[in-house]
Amino acid sequence: MLDDLKMIHTRDADDALGVCEKQWSQLVTKFNPDVEGIKDITNVVISGMGGSALPAVYLKTWPSLNVPLDIVRDYDIPTYVNSSTLFISSSYSGNTEETLAALNKAKAKNAIVVVVTAGGQLEKVAKDNNYPLVTIPGGIQPRMCSFYILAAFTQILEAIGLIEQGKTTELEQAGNWLKDQLTSFLPTTPTASNPAKQLALELIGKSVVIYSGPKLFPAANKFKICLNENAKNVAWVNQYPEFNHNEFIGWSAQPDNKPYAVVEIRSNLENERIAKRFAFTEQLLSGKRPSPEVIEPLGDSLIKQLVWTSNYCDFVSLYTALLNGLNPTPVELVEKLKELLK
């Protein structure tokens, strides 16, 4: 079915696969944030929801900030926010009510605000208050512009001196490298040679549980979100070693019939003890849970493995949507909820 290009074109009416194929280019986009003069930052808070907060999770892994970082997905903000806090307000639509509410509270605490958006009310607030503004290209779903926002965050933090110099260049290099890695995932590549199509066929009709180590968790988290929004498929995510302290036992008994698919992202860059935990867990849970589908990320650096795994899993989620008979792009329930909340 996934080799039927006519079917793919019909179901993928908004060309999500085309957007996915070009995601690498988002990583090399230059935003030139005007943040000159911002200094003496003691902590960073990134406020956003859904796809607008998703890229902030990458910053927990790559690159390493030299001050504490917190991610706020809420109407409220931490009590410690003050005049030495860099508060990055991120909303792709610019109309996310939680993000706008949090920004008002950050403003009241005299935080140093930078705005990342494609427009909407947030853009207006930024211009009215003379906040530094990074404008993301519009026209696609927030989850599909994660690499734009990651590039924006990286450039902002590097310009202020909160991450090591050269990380923007490293991200651009990873993007250019990623461009050459995608051929085997494309719709024109037959299922027999296409690992993304093959994995989608294993996931169809099941609830998906995704595990990774800490370093690759941002990619695992994005996979979970894209299965939810693209495939309209229930999925969960967790990471090692925390998994072995609780959820591990949950697989040992109930329910007897486990209608799940397990995906494990096993990176050779994780702590060597993580690899042992994956292996021993698979041994101990043999027969108690589905055998895991294992993803071994490509790339000789952490950022390469993160973007490769993210893009690969995006393709998997889109093919899963097509197998579900769905257009991957719309998120109608989210829009209906927003209308009700109005």
Q: Give phi and psi for 89, each to the nearest 5.
A: -95, 115
Query: What is the β-pairing status of strands 112-117 and 85-91?
Result: parallel
pLDDT for 182-208, tens place per residue?
Answer: 999 999 999 999 999 999 999 999 999
> What's the pLDDT at 78?
98
CA 243 to chain centre: 20
SS (H, E, C) 174-226: HHHHHHCCCHHHCCCCCHHHCHHHHHHHHHCCCEEEEEECCCCHHHHHHHHHH
* Residues contacting residue 327 through CB under 8 Å, at least 6 positions apart: 11, 12, 13, 14, 321
Q: Is 282 a catalytic residue?
A: no
Q: In whole angstroms, what is the distance from residue 80 CA to residue 152 CA?
A: 25
Q: Residue 44: beta bridge partners?
A: 69, 86
Topology of the domain covering 31-176? Rossmann fold (3.40.50)
Residue in 36, 245, 272, 335 annotated catalytic:
245
Residue in 229, 264, 270, 304 annotated catalytic:
229
Region 320-341: mean pLDDT is 93
Residue in 124, 288, 336, 338 annotated catalytic:
338
Region 291-295: mean pLDDT is 97
The CATH H-level superfamily of 5-13+181-323 is Glucose-6-phosphate isomerase like protein; domain 1 (3.40.50.10490)
**Per-domain residue ranges for the chain?**
5-13+181-323, 31-176
> What's the pLDDT at 69?
98
Q: What is the mean pLDDT of the chain?
A: 96
* Confidence label for 294 from pLDDT (cuts 50, 70 and 90): very high
Q: Is 245 a catalytic residue?
A: yes
Residues of the chain with pLDDT > 90, as a percent, come to: 95
Residues of the chain with pLDDT > 70, as a percent, come to: 100
- pLDDT of 342 over the 90 cut: no
Same fold, 5-13+181-323 and 31-176: yes
pLDDT for 7-48, tens place per residue?
Answer: 999 999 999 999 999 999 999 999 999 999 999 999 999 999
